[in-house]
Structure 1
Amino acid sequence: MSWKHLFSRALAADPQRLHFAAHSHHLWPDASWLGHLEAWEDAAGLADRKWEKVFGEVIPEAQGHIARELGLPDPATLAFAPNTHDLLVRIVSALPMERPRVLASDGEFHSFRRQSLRWAEAGRIALETVPLHALAERAARGEFDLLFASQVQFNSGEPLTSVEALAALARPEGPWVVIDGYHGFMAKPTDLSACSDRLFYLGGGYKYAMAGEGACFLHAPPGFGPRPEVTGWFAAFDSLAARQGGIGYAPDGRRFLGSTFDPSGLYRFNAVQRMLLAEGLDTARISAHCGALMDQFRASGALPDMALIDPPAPRFLAYKGKGAAHWQQHLASKGIVIDRRDEVLRIGFGLYQDAEDVERLARACR
């Protein structure tokens, strides 16, 4: 079945383009345009009062969608920010020790990798990195205040299989466990109900949630980090009209909020979620559609000089070899968009592709 009708605007914007980078910059469905329009109309019609709707309706709706997707028992544990880097900085600022000892995988995305290396360089943290498969064993030996790992590695697609084992180590006094779910959220069914009270989870709308930039979120377990040092006035939004005294914090996930932000990403996120519900499309069904396309491409025998990295990621195939740059340039010359990380070629799959698109990609690779 084809779902291209849900993406008519994005596909019509460049009819000759074949976009196989859904894992990177997912094309926006038509519903996101309606959400963006709704954000503009609210800004125009409500003016100063728009924040009452944002906090009273838009954010609670987004919290509900994410809580349903992740199996969270309480949507109020969720906070939002324009990007996950903002949320990462607030988490580390809330740790109750001056120089946290941090353990992470050696394949983390740039938002964590760059910041953690700079913190380590400045003496702000003590950092140790290990391969993802060794993380749980190393963490179990103790000695750390923060454990950080991606649910799915951004470069290779390797999945984290020890989420609950890591969560079992977590304590409010440390260690804290932070899962970067950016390449897992809505790419694979995720149920955090058994450990949501012990781990942080980061995610966003830029990739598989199909909502674009500006819709990132944090699930913050109760009792962990009640007073982030890096904070903004939205962290106590309910008391803004009262006399200002001490530095108060919301008792739920809002304690990790920052300051004024562009809420249009959340409008788009909600509009896309409503579209998926109306179409009967959940993460499992979307994954089945993408999985069939991935199997078709693998069976085509394309890219014979590149080694497929197994197991495949939930929504992209990673091929490693010295010809990665050549293949990216060759396909770009034919109007086909894929991306590359050093010698790893990544080919991503989404709802806006069908079997004919995969065949065109395979022919170009032959």
Structure 2
Amino acid sequence: MSFKPLFSRALSLAPGRLHFAAHSHHLWPDVSFDAQQAAWDDAARHADRKWDLIFGEIVPEAQGHVARELGLPSSDSVVFAPNTHDLLVRLVSGLDRTPARILSTDGEFHSFRRQAQRWEEAGQAVVERVAVEPFADFADRFLAAARRGGHDLILVSQVFFRSGRVFDRLAELAALARPDGPWVVVDGYHGFMALPTDLSGLADRLFYVAGGYKYAMAGEGACFLHAPPGFCPRPVMTGWFAEFGDLEGPAGGVGYRADGGRFWGATFDVSALYRFNAVRRLLDDQGLTTAGIADHARGLQARFAQALGDGDCGPLSHAEALNPITDDAPRARFLALRHPQAAAWRAALLERGVVTDVRDDVIRFGFGLYQDDADVEALVSACAALD
């Protein structure tokens, strides 16, 4: 079955393009166009009173979608922001110790990597980084470091953005979390709606941060944080939207909501949540689940991986597959290939109308609903034609 009609606008605007970067900038379904217009219409129709609609309907619907996707016991633990960086800064601001003692890895995305380095320069944090490679024993090494203790915050990716490798021992990590520290944070950006994720047994101990730019197909601006009750009750970096609701705090002091709303910022462009809600409704209408979409993507990945293994992809067949398809376990929605010529290959493919992306010496191919077997065959042919 082809799902391309759901993306007719995006595909028709670049008809000669083969877009294999669904893990980077996922193409938007047609319903997101109508949702963007609906956001404009509501702003014009309700003007100053649009926020009653936003916090009365739009935000609760989006919270519900996130909660159902992750198996959260309540949707009021979810708060939104334009990007994950904003949410991470608010969270870390609530740590009582300076310098904060942070455990993480050398494979985190730049939104955390850069900020953590700057905190270190400023004397505001001491960061211990566990090497992701070799990945075969990474989970054991990371959990051993976490169990040694002495950390105020522990942050790790669910799926590593560069390699597509999956950290699947969240329960063991969450078992270490305490309201007085450490706080455990999972960067789920490459996990949310990419592979089925059930936090129902961990939601009371684990922070989870992700967004809609990739597999949620909603574009920029729809990032969120799930915040477990009792953890970081009073972030220092706080916006005035956190003043709305039932507040707790010292008399005459700054009050905070007890739910995820304690992490609200200030005025933001809510159109991303309109898009996110529209996409989720579309998936429900089509009977498409994250597991089903992941199966579709896995089939396309497997066809491309087979061509690589058979030597049908020209020079790319000599690359090292960092996240090969070896079993039926949940996996990233992209294949990561390491080779010194990765950047040159990416540039050559782009000249042929094939969009991928590169991280250092790793070229990544992302798969999604708007691709089919014919697209993979065209990709294999394009790779085979490279020098």
TM-score range relative to shorter protein: over 0.9
The partner residue of 2:205 within 198, 208, 224 is: 198
After superposition, where does 1:248-327 map in structure 2 within 5 Å?
248-301=255-308, 302=313, 303-311=316-324, 313-327=331-345
Who is 2:359 aligned against? Answer: 341
Q: Does 1:224 align with 2:199?
A: no
Q: Does 1:176 align with 2:194?
A: no
Q: Does 1:73 align with 2:73?
A: yes
| Dislocated runs of 4+, deviation >6 Å | none
User: 1:232 corresponds to which letter in structure 2?
Assistant: G
Q: 8 Å contact 1:158–1:311 — kept in the other structure?
A: no
Shift in Å at residue 80 of structure 1?
0.5
Alpha-carbon distance between aligned partners in 2 of 1:277 and 1:131, rounded to the nearest angstrom? 40
Look up the SS of the partner of 1:129 in the other structure: strand
Shift in Å at residue 239 of structure 1?
7.5
Identity, % of aligned positions: 60
Alpha-carbon distance between aligned partners in 1 of 2:131 and 2:166, rounded to the nearest angstrom? 12
Alpha-carbon distance between aligned partners in 2 of 1:51 and 1:311, rounded to the nearest angstrom? 47
Look up the SS of the partner of 1:304 in the other structure: helix
Structure 2: 5+ residue stretches without partners: 133-137, 326-330
Alpha-carbon distance between aligned partners in 2 of 1:9 and 1:306, rounded to the nearest angstrom? 34
Give the aligned length.
363
Alpha-carbon distance between aligned partners in 1 of 2:199 and 2:209, rounded to the nearest angstrom? 12
User: 2:187 corresponds to which letter in structure 1?
Assistant: D
Q: Could you report, residue by residue, the CA deviation over 1:324-344 in whole angstroms, capped at 9, with x for unpaired residues? A: 012101111110000000110
After superposition, where does 1:145-160 map in structure 2 within 5 Å?
145-160=152-167
Q: TM-score, structure 2 length as denominator?
A: 0.92
After superposition, where does 1:1-366 map in structure 2 within 5 Å?
1-132=1-132, 133=138, 134-238=141-245, 246-301=253-308, 302=313, 303-311=316-324, 313-366=331-384
Alpha-carbon distance between aligned partners in 2 of 1:336 and 1:364, rounded to the nearest angstrom? 8
Q: Could you report, residue by residue, the CA deviation over 1:308-366 in whole angstroms, capped at 9, with x for unpaired residues? A: 11345421000001110121011111100000001100000010000000000000111
Q: TM-score, structure 1 length as denominator?
A: 0.97
User: 2:344 corresponds to which letter in structure 1?
Assistant: H
Q: 8 Å contact 2:165–2:332 — kept in the other structure?
A: no
Alpha-carbon distance between aligned partners in 2 of 1:41 and 1:224, rounded to the nearest angstrom? 38
Q: 8 Å contact 1:226–1:249 — kept in the other structure?
A: yes
Alpha-carbon distance between aligned partners in 1 of 2:98 and 2:347, rounded to the nearest angstrom? 47
Shift in Å at residue 250 of structure 1?
1.3
Look up the SS of the partner of 2:209 in the other structure: strand
Q: 8 Å contact 1:78–1:254 — kept in the other structure?
A: yes
Shift in Å at residue 65 of structure 1?
0.4
C-alpha root-mean-square deviation of aligned residues, in Å? 1.3
Alpha-carbon distance between aligned partners in 2 of 1:99 and 1:326, rounded to the nearest angstrom? 42
Q: 8 Å contact 1:96–1:173 — kept in the other structure?
A: no
Q: Could you report, residue by residue, the CA deviation over 1:125-181 in whole angstroms, capped at 9, with x for unpaired residues? A: 111100241211110111111000000000001111221111000000000000000
Alpha-carbon distance between aligned partners in 1 of 2:37 and 2:283, rounded to the nearest angstrom? 18
Shift in Å at residue 25 of structure 1?
0.4
Name whichever of 268-277 and 126-135 sits farther off.
126-135
Alpha-carbon distance between aligned partners in 2 of 1:126 and 1:311, rounded to the nearest angstrom? 35
Alpha-carbon distance between aligned partners in 2 of 1:102 and 1:298, rounded to the nearest angstrom? 37
Look up the SS of the partner of 1:290 in the other structure: helix
Q: 8 Å contact 2:230–2:258 — kept in the other structure?
A: no
Alpha-carbon distance between aligned partners in 2 of 1:101 and 1:245, rounded to the nearest angstrom? 31
Look up the SS of the partner of 1:288 in the other structure: helix
Look up the SS of the partner of 1:300 in the other structure: helix
